[in-house]
Chains A and B, each alone.
Chain A
């Protein structure tokens, strides 16, 4: 009886969601089938933008860079974070006390508290070609972000630095759940650190493992701030990613239809990746 009338509370959200998310998203999809400069009437051209997209080398290159960034923002931090969390939890905290472990954890985590654009500001200064601190310290003259052959690798390294703390903190929190008796029993049985890692730590934090991998992969697919701040997709498109590519088409090249097609494909990929992850996670746990 009480459950009547509760839907009234959804009305403000309904209005706002339609206005801010549903309608704009549908408009974006519709625009992707047109040629439009942002003023005047959009001209319906069917699948032409998508056709062009499939043949556009810069578009494919931008997705390859995205894969590289998934490696740098999701795969490497997750695997490295797993080993670091296990080392801090099962070794450092026991041999040197929990305070040492949490101090190290805080140091790994600090980059994560920054807005990602500010992380870009920090590294933009450190790697500046004429006065950057890194070149000054090592007495070298490398144009880290301006040389097309190394710019992507540089951005990847910066993103590993930025992301690493997140999996470490999540995994260490997950390990709190594990019954300490499990580790003690394994130790008494003479199981090596590596065996404990593989047979206790990894299976115990499986749920966290999937969540971290999913959230970091989505973040990598969406990455915009560091690219904007550090390279603007350059030099010569060496660090172009889909999100920046769509931004460029929207606001600088006024190819709104083409930009919308890129954004629609990106949205589709992200939704599909999310569902795949959730399916795998359901089966695994």
Chain B
């Protein structure tokens, strides 16, 4: 009996954790009339898509998805490239003062974005990059690379020196050795970083909220976050908006699950 009571308690807890997702899934497909007559727990009579379609059109959700994909994708690639260059110098090149450089990167990674936002906002306005996706990409490339450099330097610090020596004897330049030897061999670590940077950037809210103000440039979390509690939203439309925010996140998790669960302890250093 005792054996099952702990299991039962954990199942109840799991149900509580999943309950919000179930409610969103259940009510996003109802009509407002169905919601007010049957309440949030009733099963929908059929698949009513008008709430989702209406919300999708209202916020031009396809556009937001594209913005989020574009920004997160560019940041992931850019930040990995920058991390590789840094880690090549720090981990393999062992340049002087590398410990201090790493500390600077680590501090940069823990700084709150609030302490950077206003000067960045001011600069963006001066150079005409306010409300531009390019500017947000640039900022996040640097922020994510701060973490990537820290992690990748440790990994490349253990890179077998004989391989690079052999390449140097064969006359390969440093630049060639980096792209032909170091990058291909480190591919597994780089792909973990790529996925993490993509998801972290997708999840960002504060800086995109400040810098992407026009409807054409907003990301998914910003568009949905700003509209939450809007007077023009009814119960089922709110549910539909929550669903549209949940689905991409869960899809990414399912696609990248194996890499993520392997790398999650890596991410813990962040």
Residues of A within 8 A of B (CB): 2-3, 5-10, 12-13, 16-17, 19-25, 27-28, 31, 38, 84, 87-88, 91-92, 95-96, 100, 103-104, 107-108, 110-111, 113-118, 120-126, 128, 131-133, 136-137, 161, 164-165, 169-170, 173-174, 208, 211-212, 215, 218, 221-222, 224-225, 228-230, 242-243, 246-247, 250-251, 256, 259-260, 262-264, 266-267, 270-271, 274
Q: Are A229 and B225 in contact (CB under 8 A)?
A: yes
- A-side contacts of B90, CB under 8 Å: 10
Partner of A124, one of B204, B209, B228, B253: B228
Interface size on B, residues (CB 8 A): 94
Q: Are B14 and A108 in contact (CB under 8 A)?
A: yes
Q: Are B85 and A12 in contact (CB under 8 A)?
A: yes
Q: Are A104 and B14 in contact (CB under 8 A)?
A: yes
Residues of chain B in range 104-118 having any CB-CB distance to chain A below 8 Å: 104, 107-108, 110-118
Partner of B110, one of A100, A122, A229, A274: A274
Check A115/B7 contact, CB under 8 A, given A20-B138, A31-B119.
no
Q: Are A174 and B141 in contact (CB under 8 A)?
A: no
**Sample of 15 further A-B pairs with CB below 8 A, known A6-B174, A170-B265, A266-B114:** A6-B93, A7-B95, A9-B85, A9-B88, A9-B93, A16-B138, A17-B108, A17-B142, A20-B138, A21-B142, A24-B116, A128-B235, A222-B113, A224-B114, A243-B112
- B-side contacts of A247, CB under 8 Å: 114, 117, 206, 210
From residue A129, how far is it (CB to closest CB) to chain B in Å?
10
From residue B199, how far is it (CB to closest CB) to chain A in Å?
8
From residue A207, how far is it (CB to closest CB) to chain B in Å?
10
- B-side contacts of A8, CB under 8 Å: 89
- A-side contacts of B229, CB under 8 Å: 124, 128
Nearest CB to that of B20 among chain A residues?
Answer: A122
Docked Cα-Cα span, A21 to B92, in Å, equals 25
Give 9 CB contacts A-B under 8 Å: A6-B88, A28-B119, A121-B225, A122-B245, A124-B229, A132-B235, A169-B264, A243-B114, A264-B115
User: Total number of A-B contacts with CB less than 8 angstroms?
Assistant: 267
Q: Are B17 and A108 in contact (CB under 8 A)?
A: yes
- B-side contacts of A243, CB under 8 Å: 112, 114, 206
Check A24/B264 contact, CB under 8 A, given A113-B250, A125-B239.
no
Residue interface mask B148-161, A partner, CB < 8 A = 1: 01000000000000
Docked Cα-Cα span, A221 to B112, in Å, equals 9
Residue interface mask B10-36, A partner, CB < 8 A = 1: 110111011011011001000000011
Q: Are B139 and A20 in contact (CB under 8 A)?
A: yes
- Is B249 an interface position by the 8 A CB rule? yes
- B-side contacts of A218, CB under 8 Å: 110
Q: Are A120 and B20 in contact (CB under 8 A)?
A: no
- B-side contacts of A92, CB under 8 Å: 6-7, 10
Docked Cα-Cα span, A13 to B101, in Å, equals 11
- Is B3 an interface position by the 8 A CB rule? yes
Q: Are B246 and A122 in contact (CB under 8 A)?
A: yes
- A-side contacts of B88, CB under 8 Å: 6, 9
- Is B61 an interface position by the 8 A CB rule? no
From residue A91, how far is it (CB to closest CB) to chain B in Å?
6
Q: Are A27 and B119 in contact (CB under 8 A)?
A: yes
Docked Cα-Cα span, A169 to B118, in Å, equals 36
Nearest CB to that of B116 among chain A residues?
Answer: A24
